[in-house]
Amino acid sequence: MPLIDTTQLALERAIQGAGVRQEALTANLANVDTPGYVRKDVDFHAQLAGAMQAGPDAAARLRATGFAPTADSPGAMRADGGTVDADVESARLAQNALEHQALVTVAGARLDVLRAAMGIA
Amino acid sequence: MSLFGTFDVAASGLSAQRLRMDVTAENLANAQSTRGADGGPYRRKEVVLREASGGSSFGAALAGARGGAAAGGAGGVEVAAVVPSQAAPKRVHDPGHPDADADGNVLMPDINPVTEMVDLIGAQRAYEANVTAMQSAKSMFSKTLELLR
């Protein structure tokens, strides 16, 4: 088993995905009053879940996974064409920040285990 | 690193909303101005926002130069224009006014203080939302830095 296993790699990728998602959600909030703006989001969960299904290739798939924001299909919108709801966006922002914090905490705890095993904790 | 980009995006929202507040304050201050910049009465101004293209920051340029797919993240918001309103000025009968015409009518700016106050509140709420987003990114980033300890 390598020192940085697939789980640790997935945690690191998820932390990066949450960072990219935070940027997309912040851009939605910045454009809350922009006419015709279509909100964007990053579905990093689905991308990572797909990579984790790859069995022995999971680590390589995880390393190759990149995250990019995708625009929602314009559904219900305001009269000016904007689709951002400031309340919903704030809730998503808070949720994503907490998720990022949880991921960082777990990744840090796993690194602490490694440090303890090496006697440098 | 995307979290630094988040700061830029939130900052673009802050400056756009601040400009909206400035323009609204200017409209309120000039509600009685009969001599605007173009000679006639002051015309109400309105801010037009648009989505910024992004990719002009140092980080985006570096990522692009390295051939990365990370080039050109979210760009935030920018002010496209500040346009004067096309609404006709109000005609008020006030023969004593220095700018009154031969019939005693004065052209006044078509500014409704209630509309301006609603705009002001909207800009204020949007500003606060961007501040919250920035604080959230700040705590996320400092939490990530704790991994190095």
At A35-80, the pLDDT tens digits run 989 999 999 999 999 998 988 888 889 988 888 888 887 777 788 8
Contact B143 A104 (CB under 8 A): yes
Contact of A90 with chain B, judged by CB distance below 8 Å, is answered with yes
Q: Which two tokens stand for residue B131?
A: 């501040």
Select from B132, B134, B139 the Cβ nearest to the Cβ of A90.
B132
- Euclidean distance between CA atoms B124 and B133, whole angstroms: 14
Single-letter amino acid code for the residue at B62:
L
Contact A22 B144 (CB under 8 A): no
CA atoms within 13 A on the CB side of A5: 6
> Phi, psi (5° rounding) for residue B135?
-60, -40
Single-letter amino acid code for the residue at B124:
Q
- Euclidean distance between CA atoms B80 and A99, whole angstroms: 35
- B55 Cβ neighbours under 8 A, 6+ residues apart: B61, B64, B71, B72, B73, B75
Q: Which helix (H) or strand (E) holds A86?
A: helix A86-118
Q: What is the pLDDT of residue B103?
A: 92
Q: What value does the mean pLDDT take over residues B87-115? A: 91
Secondary structure of residue B57 in the 3-state scheme: coil
- Euclidean distance between CA atoms A90 and A96, whole angstroms: 10
The Cα of B130 is separated from the nearest Cα of chain A by a number of Å equal to 6
Q: What is the pLDDT of residue A31?
A: 93
- Say if residue B81's pLDDT is above 90: yes
Q: What is the pLDDT of residue B3?
A: 66
Give the lowest-confidence range in A51-65, A80-94, B42-56, B59-73.
B59-73
- Say if residue B149's pLDDT is above 80: no
Residue percentage of chain B with pLDDT more than 90 = 62
> In chain B, where do the E strands start and end?
45-51, 77-84, 90-93, 105-108
- Say if residue B19's pLDDT is above 90: yes
* pLDDT band, very low/low/confident/very high, at A27 (cuts 50, 70, 90): very high
- Euclidean distance between CA atoms A74 and A86, whole angstroms: 16
Contact of A4 with chain B, judged by CB distance below 8 Å, is answered with no
Q: What is the pLDDT of residue B146?
A: 86
Q: Which residues of B12-39 are buried (b: 16+ CB within 10 A; e: fewer)?
A: bbbbbbeebbebbeebeebeeebeeeee
What is the model's pTM?
A: 0.84
Nearest chain B Cα to A99, which residue? B140
Q: Which helix (H) or strand (E) holds B111?
A: none
Instruction: Give the strand pairing for A70-71 and B90-93.
Output: unpaired
- Say if residue B71's pLDDT is above 50: no
Alpha-carbon torsion (B123, A76, A87, B131), positive or negative: negative
Q: Which two tokens stand for residue A22?
A: 């935070």
* pLDDT band, very low/low/confident/very high, at B9 (cuts 50, 70, 90): very high
Contact of B66 with chain A, judged by CB distance below 8 Å, is answered with no
Cα B59-B60-B66 angle, rounded to 5 deg: 90
B45 DSSP β-pair partners: B84
Secondary structure of residue B92 in the 3-state scheme: strand
Nearest-10 Cα torsion for A86, B54, B66, A5:
0
Contact A37 B139 (CB under 8 A): no
